[in-house]
Chains A and B, each alone.
Chain A
Amino acid sequence: MQKRLIWTVLFAGIFSIAMAGIKIPAFSLQDINNKTRHYKDIKGEKLTIIDFWATWCKPCVRAIPKLSEIYHAYKQKGVSVLGISVDSPRNAAKIKPFVKIHRMDYPVLKDPQGEISTRLNVTVYPTLFIVNSANQIVYTHYGFRSGDEKILIKEIEGLLGNAHE
C-alpha cells in the first residue's frame, strides 16, 4: 500500500513540472443550428478565447456579457471568442434560446458528449482558454467572478504585445 502510494504521489509530482503550451486538437462540432463547424474556420487570426460553458452554470452567465464586450473590442485586432456548450441532451432544447437571450453574438458550438472538454480535462465551468495562432493554450482561467474580465484583458493585451514583437 505504502509503495503504491509513493508511486502515485510521484506521478502527481512529475506532472507538477508540466510543460506549458498544450495544443488544441483539430476538431469540428455542431453549432446551435446543427451545422458542423471546424475550429480552424472559426479561430482568431492571432488569439482565440475558448469558453466552456453550460446553460445551468451560474458563473457562466456572468462571463458571457464580458466575453461579448471583449469579442467586439478585439475582433479587429485578430482576437476571436468561441463558446463551447457542454450541455448534455437534457438541455439541448434550451441552448439556442439561451444563446439568443444572452446575446452571445460570437460563434457557439455544442459538445454534448464532452469530446473536446474531456480531451482538455475541463472539470470547472466556465473554463476559459486563450489559444494562440499555433493552437497552443497560452492562458487558462477557471471560473468567473466579477472583475475577472480585467485579468483576461490584461492577458490579451500582453499576448498581443508579444505577437507584435
Chain B
Amino acid sequence: MNRGTIFLLALVMAQPLFAQLSGSNQAIYQLGNQPDRLPANRTNLYDQLNLFYGSGDITLGLRAEIYNTDSRYEYNRISQKYIAYNLGNLQLRLGNFYEILGRGLLLRSYELPGVVYEDTGTQQRYGFYKDVEGLSLRYENEFIRAKALAGRPLDFSRPPIQGRSQRRRFFVQGGEVDFLLHDNFNPGVLYLRSDSDGRVKEYNGLNFDGYWGDIQYYAEYIQDGSNRDGTFQLGQNGAHAFYASFNVVYKRASLSFEYKDYNNFTLVFNDPPPLVREHTYTLLNRSTHSIEPNNESGYQLEVLLDIGGDNSVTVNHSRAVNHLGNQRYTFFEYYADVNYYLDPDIITKVFADYSQDELVSQKNRYTAGASAEWGFGKDWQFISEIQWQHFQRDFIFNPAQNHSAENRYVNVSLNKGPIYSAGIILEYSNDPVETNQLVTSGTLKFRSWPAFLATYQYDQQNVFNLFVGKRRGGNACTGGICYRVLDFEGVELSLTTRF
C-alpha cells in the first residue's frame, strides 16, 4: 500500500473531525469477461473516491482511483487534486479543472459522473473524465464575463498505463471574453494556443448570443489562425468550425434549429456539438451518428408540442454530410415520439425513427418502440419497454456482402418506491457483425443478451446496483458524449456512496 492510500485512509478516518468534509465513493466489482476473452471468470474491482473540503472561500478537492485486477494493468493513484479560491467576482482554480470555451468547438473538458470506461486493448477501467491540469481563472461583472486557462488537457482515449507524458502531451493556453452589452446582443472573442512537442497551433474566433422574449440565438465561428492570413474560411478547406442555433417558443409549440460546418477540426481537447438527437432508447442510442469534425456539415431541427394534460409530442430531423477522401457520406434521421398519460397512474411513450448513416454503411434503418409505466398499490410501479430495429448494410467496395439485419429489445421491471427495483432485459440480434458471420462464416444465426438488474437504496447515502447476465457492447451515449462499451458476460456489483 503506497503513501497516497495511507493518506487517504487517514483522511477518511479523521472525517468526523472535519465538519466541511464531504465526498463520494463508487466501488464496482466484476466477475466475468468479454465473451471471446479468457479467463471467463476474470475478476476486477474499480474504486473511485472523491473528497472535498471547504473552508470559507477555499475548496480543496481530491480524487483517488484504484483498479485491482489479476494483470499488469492494475493501478492505485491520486488522479485529481485542486485548490479553488472564490474571491467575489473572481474565481481561481489550481490543479485539475473543467472548462468550456463557447459551445465546445475549441475546448471542452467534462466528466460523466458514475460512468467507468473500459479500454478495448488493455481492458483497464478508469473514470470517464477529460479534465485539464493547470490554472483556470474566471471573472464576471455586469459588463463582462471572462475565462482564462493554461494547462494540459487529458487525452481520454489513452488509458492510465500510457502515463502522464502521453495522456497529457498537449499544453494549451487561452480564454474567452464575452461582452454583456444587451439582452439582444452579447458578442465574445475566443482564443487558444496549443503546443505538442513543439508543434504550435493557434485558434481564434467569435461568438454572439442574445434573446428577445421567447426567441433566442447563438453563433460561433473558430478557425485555425496558424496560417496567419486572417481570412474567414467558412465552407473552404481551411481548418474551421462554425455552429449556430436558433430557438423560438410560440404558445404551446417550440422550434429549435441548429447548423454546423466543421472542417479539419478534430482536436484532442474539443467536443463540437454533433447536432444529432440524443436518444435514451437503447437501440437508437447505440446506433447514433458519431460526428466526424474532420469534415462534416449539416443541421438539426426539432419541434416540441404541448398537447395538453402534461402530454407532449417531439418531432426531430437531422442531416449531416461528410466528404472524406473522394467519397461523400450522408446521414439523416427522422424521429417522432409521443408522451401520453392514459391515466394519472399510467404513462405511455411511443416512438418511430427512420434513418441512414453511410459512415457505418447502414441504410433504410427503421426503429420503433413503446414504453408504459403503471403505478399501483401504495408505491409499486411496473415498467415495460419494447423496441425493434431493421436496417440494411450496403458495402461500397464489396456489394456481395450486402445484407439486412434486425435488433430487438425488451425490458420489464418492478419497483417499490425509490428503494427496490428489479428488472429483466433481453436483447436479440441477427446482425452478421454480431454473429461474426462476416469474418468466420460461422453457423450462428443470432445472438441474445439476457440480463437481470436490481437496485437497492440502503439509505440516503448508499445505493447498491447488481447486474447478472450478458451486456451488449457497442456505441453508448451519456450526457451528450458517445463512447464505446465492451461486451460483458458475468456479474457486476456496485456500491455508490455519498457522504
A residues in contact (CB < 8 Å) with B: 1, 3-5, 7-12, 14-16, 18-20, 22-23, 25-26, 33-34, 36, 54-58, 61-62, 65, 86-94, 96-98, 100-103, 112-115, 117-124, 139-143, 145-148, 150-151
In-complex Cβ contact of A4 among B50, B68, B111 (8 A): B68
Query: How far apart are the CA atoms of A22 and B461 in the complex, in Å?
Result: 10
Q: Among B5, B209, B271, which residue has its beta carbon within 8 angstroms of that of A34?
A: B209
Are the C-beta atoms of B66 and A117 separated by less than 8 Å? no
- For B366-383 the 0/1 string (1 means CB < 8 A from A) is 000001011100010101
Q: Are A97 and B256 in contact (CB under 8 A)?
A: yes
Which of B20-28, B157-165, B225-233, B484-492 is near enough to bind chain A?
B20-28
> Can you list 25 A-B pairs with a CB-CB distance of less than 8 A?
A1-B68, A3-B1, A4-B66, A16-B497, A19-B15, A22-B22, A34-B211, A89-B271, A90-B275, A90-B480, A92-B245, A92-B273, A94-B256, A96-B216, A97-B247, A97-B248, A97-B255, A97-B256, A101-B305, A101-B312, A114-B110, A114-B479, A146-B373, A146-B375, A151-B417
Question: Smallest CB–CB gap between B455 and chain A, Å?
Answer: 8
Which B positions have Cβ atoms within 8 angstroms of A?
Answer: 1, 5, 8-9, 12-13, 15-16, 20, 22-27, 45, 47, 49-50, 52, 54, 59, 66, 68-70, 74, 76, 86, 98-100, 103-104, 108-115, 140, 145, 183, 186, 209, 211, 214, 216, 218, 245-249, 252-258, 271, 273-275, 278-280, 302, 304-306, 310, 312, 339, 344-347, 349, 371, 373-375, 379, 381, 383, 415, 417-418, 457-458, 460-463, 479-481, 495-499
Are B418 and A119 in contact, with the CB atoms below 8 A?
no
With A96-B216, A146-B347 already in contact, 8 other A-B pairs whose C-beta atoms are closer than 8 Å:
A7-B5, A8-B47, A11-B49, A62-B373, A100-B254, A101-B252, A119-B52, A122-B113
Pairwise interchain contact A23-B247, C-beta atoms closer than 8 A: no
Closest to A34 in B: B209
Please give me the residue from chain A that is nearest to B210 by CB atom: A34
What's the nearest-Cβ distance from chain A to residue B311, in Å?
10
Chain B positions within 8 Å of A92 at CB level? 103, 218, 245, 273
Q: Which of these, B74, B103, B253, B305, contacts A89 with CB under 8 Å?
A: B103
Taking the closest CB of chain B, its distance from the CB of A35, in whole angstroms, is: 9
Min distance, Cβ A132 to any Cβ of chain B, angstroms: 14
Knowing A92-B218, A121-B496, A148-B418 touch, does A8 contact B110 (C-beta < 8 A)?
no
Residues of A with C-beta under 8 A to B460 = 20, 139-140
Q: Which of B20, B86, B374, B497 contacts A23 (CB 8 A)?
A: B20
A-B pairs, 10 with minimum CB distance? A123-B114, A88-B480, A97-B254, A18-B499, A121-B24, A146-B375, A90-B480, A93-B245, A15-B497, A89-B103
Q: Which of B113, B271, B275, B379 has the most CB of A within 10 A?
A: B113
Which residues does chain B contribute within 8 Å of A33, judged by CB atoms? Answer: 183, 211, 216
| Inter-chain contact B280/A58, CB cutoff 8 Å | yes
Given A86-B479, A100-B249, answer yes or no on A1-B70 (Cβ-Cβ < 8 Å): yes
Q: Do B74 and A1 have beta carbons less than 8 Å apart?
A: yes
- Residues of B contacting A94 with CB < 8 Å? 247, 256, 302, 304
Which of A18, A61, A102, A142 makes the CB contact (< 8 A) with B418?
A142
Q: How far is the CA of A34 from the CA of B59 in the complex (A)?
A: 25
CA distance A20 to B371 in the complex (A): 36
**A91 near B9: Cβ-Cβ < 8 Å:** no
A90 touches B273 (CB 8 A): yes
Task: Given A101-B254, A123-B496, verify A96-B218 contact (CB < 8 Å).
Answer: no
Inter-chain CA distance A119–B480, complex, in Å, is 19
> A121 to B115, alpha carbons, bound, how many Å?
11
Are A8 and B66 closer than 8 Å at their CB atoms?
yes
Closest chain A residue, CB of each to CB of B215: A96
Q: B247 near A96 (CB under 8 angstroms)? A: yes
Which residues on A sit within 8 Å (CB–CB) of B383? 145
Q: A92 to B211, alpha carbons, bound, how many Å?
A: 14
- Which chain B residues lie closer than 8 Å to A11 at the CB level? 8-9, 12, 25, 27, 47, 49
Contact of A100 among B47, B66, B214 (CB under 8 A): B214
Cβ contact within 8 Å between B76 and A4: yes
**Neighbouring B residues of A58 by C-beta, 8 Å:** 280, 349, 371
